[in-house]
Amino acid sequence: MIKTFKYMRRQDWVLAFFASLLTVLRVYFELKIPEFMKRVTELIMTDGSTLRDIWTTGGWMLLTAVGNLAVMIVVSVMSARVGACFATRLRILQFERVSSFSMEEINRFSTASLITRSTNDVSQIQIYTAMLIRIMIPAPITAIWAITKITSQGQIQWSIAMSIAVAFLLVIIFVIFKYAMPRFRRIQTLTDNINRITREHLLGIRVVKAYNAEPYQEAKFEEANEALTHNNLTAHRIMMIQGPSMGLVMNGLSIAIYWIGAALIEAAGAREKILLFSSMVVFMNYAMQIVMSFMRMTMLFSMAPRVAVSANRIREVIETEPAIRDGLVEEVPVSTTAAAIEFRNVCLRYPDGANYVLKDISFHADKGETIAFIGATGSGKSTLLNLIPRFYEATEGEVLINGVNVKEYKQHALRRKFGYVPQTAFLFSGTLEDNIDYGDRNGGEKSTVTLDDAASVAQIKDFIETLPEGYGAPVARGGTNYSGGQKQRLSIARAVHRQPEIYLFDDAFSALDYRTDRALRRTLKSKMEGATTVIVAQRIGTIRDADKILVLDEGTIGGTGTHAELMANCRVYQEIALSQLSMEELVS
């Protein structure tokens, strides 16, 4: 938690500092009010004082109360400001960092977790930070100051009573932290369990029903439910000692103050008596303040572990160094000799993974060529494609685009070259036009013509024309108002509209039925004149015309060549082909 504060801006620190200074003033006012009461008591007890004196003292008392309110309001506003600014800062830092992450880091954190870190976790910190300034800082100041006021009276008996009370309070806090805290920390895990079991149940509802496994699921849930309930019950029951026991300490202290006070007054001289009596009355007030301060501190301490979890999660994001760093190259002169894409002995291994995902991959694709990758699930073909736009960083070896290592390019310059279509189509909320004409649009012109062109290549133009709003048709978040096939074609239109040097299709055709797939590839071929194309696919049909096919087998290249060549001499390729087509079909 504390380590997170280093991300607070200087001006927020300054604000927090002034808020803390004001807090001292606030505590001063707070403890001043009972002192006026003491003065009133003395006035009542002493002969020769006037009613006017009481009114005057009362006036000051009221003023102090108003002053106290004013300072507290200012502190509240300041603390809210600090909290909100700090939260804003944390969100910016996280967003910036995540924007620079590669796929590997995104996958490591998982998207859902990154979202929680940027929103809920930050809100936790915001609220807690403001509470720290508003509640945590004044609490010990009040407690210590009030204790000093009692002990400075110089009556050792009162001081002893005070010390015993504080000792009790500390014991209570200790007990709560020792026994309740671990159980409160467990709540999250146990709730996650409940969530997981329910989620599994919902996801597999058809399987559950098909296997008549309802009682099984219920029993499994009940076990987790019982564990959670038991834990919560114990945790709360221990926690609940706090209120009554601290109240008891407070009342006990009041009684002690009066009892001791009585003895002191009895022993003192006439003049001392009044002073002691008036002190006694306000001490009860201080006793209350002290116990309340302790209660507030316990409350904040008890929230701390949960907030610390949030803080750590935020720091994890901010402090993750992105694996990918920007190069310097903006543009390379077009060379006729360099291959459009070249891999030289590329290997990839995830940081904590034992095995290579890709091993010793070398190939090159010339300008205008179509190169295809095929292989079993998990053979690394998608990962390989992702190395080209540098979504992943090669562990060893070099990936070259137009003869220059991708690491030397500025990232935006590198990515300007690609029209990338991912495996699962992704649409942004907005309109169809926003989605087709997305990003930096390569500096090219945007017009109805270019949109139409892209849409017709992607086989989606007819569909868009049936929509009343045309390209202005709305896209819901996640593109949920379009079917899977429509989304995929729109995402292809986005790539076409960019008029890229290199097309990257990451298994983008499997969501389409065979007929659409074929029509699309035919138009693409005529439109993509001169562009290099990389296709990752599962169907032999999709790739059999490629200029070069690479067969991936468990991270290595198992064969290279055209369809005919591979059919003749690559066993893995033959197997794949045979599983899809029968022998005579392959030959024909």
Partner 1 sequence: MSQKEYKIDDDTRVRNQPQMGGGRGGIGRPVEKPKNFKKTWGRLLAYSRTERVPMIASFLGASAGAVLSLIGPMRLAKVVDVIEKGMADSIDFGAIGVLVNGLIAIYGVSALLNYFQNFFMTGVAQTISKRMRRHVVEKINRVPINYFNKVSYGDILSRVTNDVDGVSQALNQGVASIGSSVTLFFGSLAMMMITNIWMALVAVGVTLIGFFFMTLTIRASRQYFVSQQRDLGDMNGHVEEIYAGHNIVRAYNGEKNARLAFDRINDRLKTSAFKSQALSSMMMPMMFFMGNLGFVAVSIMGGVLAFRGRIPFSTIVAFMMYIRLFSHPLQDFAQVATRLQSAAAASERVFEFLEEEEVEDERGKTKRLKDVKGQLEFRNVRFRYEGMDEDVIHDFTAWAKPGQKIAIVGPTGAGKTTMVNLLMRFYEIEHGLITIDGINIQDLTRENVREQFCMVLQDTWLFEGTIRENIVYSKDHVSDEDVIRACEAVGLHHFIETLPHGYDTLLGDETNLSAGQKQQITIARAMIENAPMLILDEATSSIDTRTELNIQRALDQLMGGRTSIIIAHRLSTIKNADVILVMQEGHIIERGSHDELMALNGFYAGLYNSQFETAA
List the interface residues with partner 1, window 241-270 (CB under 8 A): 241-245, 247-248, 251-252, 254-255, 258-259, 261-263, 265-266
The CB-of-10 to partner 1 minimum distance in angstroms stands at 17
Closest alpha carbon to 450 in 438, 431, 465, 437: 437
Judged by CB, which is closer to partner 1: 335, or 489? 489
Q: Could you say which residues in the range 420-479 bind partner 1, by CB under 8 A? A: 420, 422, 426, 428-429, 438-440, 477-478
481's tokens: 């108002």
Report if residue 323 touches partner 1, rule: CB under 8 A: no
Q: Which amino acid is at 336?
A: T
24's tokens: 């001292």
The CB-of-126 to partner 1 minimum distance in angstroms stands at 6
The CB-of-336 to partner 1 minimum distance in angstroms stands at 27
| 320, 538, 560, 562: which one binds partner 1 (CB under 8 A) | 538
Report if residue 124 touches partner 1, rule: CB under 8 A: yes
Report if residue 329 touches partner 1, rule: CB under 8 A: no
Separation of CA 516 from chain center: 40
| 20, 58, 166, 275: which one binds partner 1 (CB under 8 A) | 58
Report if residue 561 touches partner 1, rule: CB under 8 A: no
Judged by CB, which is closer to partner 1: 166, or 581? 581
Q: Could you say which residues in the range 473-502 bind partner 1, by CB under 8 A? A: 477-478, 484-485, 491, 494, 498
CB neighbours of residue 352 within 10 Å = 6
| 3, 178, 325, 525: which one binds partner 1 (CB under 8 A) | 525
Residue that is written with structure tokens 């849409």 in the block? 455
Report if residue 313 touches partner 1, rule: CB under 8 A: no
Q: Residues with Cβ < 8 Å from 227, sequence gap 6 or more?
A: 190, 193
Judged by CB, which is closer to partner 1: 266, or 336? 266
Please identify, among the stretches 5-13, 161-169, 276-284, 455-463, the one whose residues bind partner 1 according to the rule CB under 8 A.
276-284
Report if residue 54 touches partner 1, rule: CB under 8 A: yes
| 20, 151, 157, 302: which one binds partner 1 (CB under 8 A) | 302
Report if residue 548 touches partner 1, rule: CB under 8 A: no
Separation of CA 507 from chain center: 30
Report if residue 106 touches partner 1, rule: CB under 8 A: yes
β pairing state of 532-537 and 370-375: parallel
Report if residue 1 touches partner 1, rule: CB under 8 A: no
The CB-of-117 to partner 1 minimum distance in angstroms stands at 9
For residue 153, the SS3 value is coil
Report if residue 239 touches partner 1, rule: CB under 8 A: yes
Q: Could you say which residues in the range 24-43 bind partner 1, by CB under 8 A? A: 30, 33, 36-37, 40-41, 43
The continuous run of DSSP H or E covering 264 comes out as helix 242-267
Cα distances (Å, whole numbers) of residue 294 to 30, 150, 454 = 16, 17, 68
Distance (Å, rounded) from C-alpha 72 to C-alpha 63?
A: 14
Report if residue 97 touches partner 1, rule: CB under 8 A: no
Judged by CB, which is closer to partner 1: 91, or 149? 91
425's tokens: 């189509």
Q: Could you say which residues in the range 356-375 bind partner 1, by CB under 8 A? A: 375
Report if residue 57 touches partner 1, rule: CB under 8 A: yes
Largest CA distance in the chain: 124
Residues in the chain: 588
Report if residue 271 touches partner 1, rule: CB under 8 A: no
313's tokens: 């999660």
| 2, 48, 112, 587: which one binds partner 1 (CB under 8 A) | 112
Distance (Å, rounded) from C-alpha 386 to C-alpha 394?
A: 10
Separation of CA 289 from chain center: 39
The continuous run of DSSP H or E covering 518 comes out as helix 514-527
312's tokens: 């750590």
CB neighbours of residue 187 within 10 Å = 14
Q: Could you say which residues in the range 372-411 bind partner 1, by CB under 8 A? A: 375-378, 386, 389, 391, 411
Report if residue 205 touches partner 1, rule: CB under 8 A: yes
| 169, 180, 357, 361: which one binds partner 1 (CB under 8 A) | 180
Separation of CA 500 from chain center: 34
Closest alpha carbon to 343 in 403, 392, 391: 403
Residue that is written with structure tokens 């800082």 in the block? 137
| 14, 44, 144, 160: which one binds partner 1 (CB under 8 A) | 44
CB neighbours of residue 22 within 10 Å = 19
The CB-of-154 to partner 1 minimum distance in angstroms stands at 20
In order, the DSSP letters of 85-151 are HHHHHHHHHHHHHHHT--HHHHHHH-HHHHHHHHTHHHHHHHHHHHHIIIIITHHHHHHHHHHHHHH
Report if residue 299 touches partner 1, rule: CB under 8 A: yes
| 3, 9, 446, 518: which one binds partner 1 (CB under 8 A) | 518
The CB-of-63 to partner 1 minimum distance in angstroms stands at 10
Distance (Å, rounded) from C-alpha 350 to C-alpha 359?
A: 12
Please tell me the count of residues contacting partner 1 according to CB under 8 A.
181
Q: Which amino acid is at 177?
A: F
| 153, 157, 159, 232: which one binds partner 1 (CB under 8 A) | 232
Judged by CB, which is closer to partner 1: 319, or 545? 545
Report if residue 108 touches partner 1, rule: CB under 8 A: no
